[in-house]
Amino acid sequence: MSGRRRSWGIPVLLATAILTIIMLIVAILSLRSEEEDYEYLLDRRDKLQDELIRLKIMKLEGRISEKEYREISKKYLREIKRIEEKLEKIEKRGKSSRTF
């Protein structure tokens, strides 16, 4: 009977080791993905801010009306706010994971 227990020990240890390695790989890949998402969000926010500046210039030059400016800028500002909220969440997660 003890022979059977020993024969199960090696496969269990091997399976545990394989699962641990897989979990480490998944964790590393998810961290990379989060960093890429963060960079993408920063770039997107910057582009929207640049577009907002261009929009303001177009309004000042008279190429678009005040109404068009308000509608479009409102959309851009909502999107920028949404992006900044996502960035804050990512930053908070990053800080909390570094404390452990």
Q: Give the whole-angstrom CA distance, residue 34 versus residue 87.
A: 10
Q: What share of the chain is helix, strand, coil (3-state, %, to 5)?
A: 95, 0, 5
Question: What element of type H or E holds 1?
Answer: none
Domain ranges of the chain: 2-98
pLDDT of residue 21: 85
Alpha-carbon dihedral of residues 50, 54, 59, 60, nearest 10 degrees? Answer: 110
Along the 100 residues of the chain, how does pLDDT read in single tens digits?
455 555 677 888 888 888 888 888 887 777 667 777 888 999 999 999 999 999 999 999 999 999 999 999 999 999 999 999 999 988 888 776 655 4
